[in-house]
Amino acid sequence: MKYDLIVLGSGPGGYVAAIRASQLGMKVAVVEKAELGGVCLNWGCIPTKALLKSAQVFEYLNHAADYGVKFDGEASASLPDMVKRSREVAAGMSKGIQFLLKKNKIEHIQGHGTLLPGKKIRVKPDDGDATEYEADHIIIATGARSRQLDNLPQDGKKIIGYREAMVLDKQPESMVVVGSGAIGTEFAWFYNAIGTKVTLVEFMPNIVPLEDEEVSKTLERSFKKAKIKVMTNSSVESVDTSGEKCKVLVKTKKGEETIEADIVLSAVGIAANIEGIGLEETGIKTEKGKIVVDEFYRTGVEGYYAIGDAVPGQALAHVASAEGIICVEKIAGHHPEPMDYNNIPGCTYCSPEVASVGYTEKAAKEAGYELKVGKFPFSASGKASAAGAKEGFVKLIFDAKYGELLGAHMIGANVTEMIAEAVVARKLETTGHELIKAVHPHPTMSEAVMEAAAAAYDEVIHM
């Protein structure tokens, strides 16, 4: 039972690390107590996108006349059917991971893994005795779960987390969503789109508070137009679940307000799954609920590594995957570059979509840069007009001295697909003028990137 590498966890960090290790000639095993693919494939990124697509189709049907399409029937949203499709998509993806592990000759060990000193791990299956395994290297990729707040105790029925929100058997008439990060914002849009009355409560001054302020304000206007009640600078003090409906006490700048709702969705962040996996026994240090690692994800104990949501950094699937590859390549004796955490794209898949990378305008100013800022609205885009998606813009931030692209911020249709151009441009240290001179296809939404760069240098044509 000796391996070159054992990976604890099969999410987008764990399974990607395992596959890359196999490609590099290692004998690899993956320990997983639940479904292969982790939260992302089973309870996060993938199934939520399936739900959002269902809501988008529903919206298309309701606005068919806007596109010259006659639709005599009345569209109705069936949450159980949407959930069924979402679960089927997730199950298919999980089976895909199973196929990839077999293809790469990676052993899947089912059960709960506990780290032991001496580069060992004990695995206890659901039924049966525990078995010890040994490896030259062990990577911890245990992911995270919904964070619990004392004043929002989740009961799985009236106060729920993201998992329950994905599989409700009945559409609630009303819902309060607490927290407007990507999870809260996406669920707020989804449930509102299919007809639930939604209130979105955010403690910070703006929703999607990590985004550029102009993006946040534009999304808030869009949500309010869609009849989502948005409460910023507000906090949920308590929830009374004793009656038929939840009574949610919200503290605002103007005082306290009680909101009644069928369901309260707590979307106030995540907590790393690092309890009960043997960190204390092995001497692996933690700080502020995360495992302490160096730039190549080595813990302070030789042979033990950690990646993904278990370590500091952005809790995103693509970050975990990239960390896993860097970690494994370093183990294999290669010379990978450390991760540039300032060039990580973030995406929110509500409508309009939100995508960004690098500095916000405020952060760039605080960092001491002199800026050139260009913004191009989709209302001036031919493709956006043809698609009926004129809402939003692309905003690019450049260093005035050297022309370096410091940040890109987008809100609109399909911008989560467009942001990769800015990520690559920043990786290659592309300047504003190089973006302007890079011919973009017409008509496309991506032309807005070229036009925004041109706007920063007073060369914009179509505005």
Classify the phi-psi angles of 129: left when phi > 0, otherwise alpha if psi is within -120 to 50, otherwise beta. beta
Per DSSP, the residues of 425-443 read HHHTT-BHHHHHHSPPPSS
Amino acid at 372: K
**H runs (alpha helix) in 210-356:** 213-225, 279-282, 317-331
Those residues with Cβ within 8 angstroms of residue 400's Cβ, 6 or more apart along the chain or in another chain: 369, 370, 371, 372
Strands 229-231 and 197-201: parallel
**C-alpha distances in angstroms, 105 versus 113, 136, 455?**
20, 18, 52
Compute the distance between CA of residue 340 and CA of residue 344 in angstroms, rounded to an integer. 7
* Encoded tokens for 93: 């993806």
What's the DSSP call for residue 9? -
How wide is the angle at C-alpha 184 spanned by C-alphas 182 and 190, nearest 5°? 100
295 near 337, Cβ under 8 Å?
no
Structure tokens at 139: 């990577």
Residue 63 annotated to the active site: no
Give the side-chain half-sphere CA count within 13 A for 192: 22
Q: Which segments of 283-410 does DSSP mark as H helices, in order?
A: 317-331, 361-366, 382-387
Residue at token pair 């196999």: 22
From start to end of 367-462, where are the E strands?
A: 371-377, 393-399, 405-412
Residue carrying structure tokens 């309060």: 176
Contact 369, 356 (CB under 8 A): no
- Residues ≥6 apart with Cβ < 8 Å to 225: none
Per-residue CA distances from 81 to 8, 87, 92, 193, 367 (Å): 34, 10, 17, 15, 49
Q: Which of 63, 334, 442, 462 is catalytic?
A: 442
Straight-line distance from the first to the last Cα atom of the chain, in angstroms, rounded to the nearest whole number: 66
Q: Which residues are catalytic?
A: 442
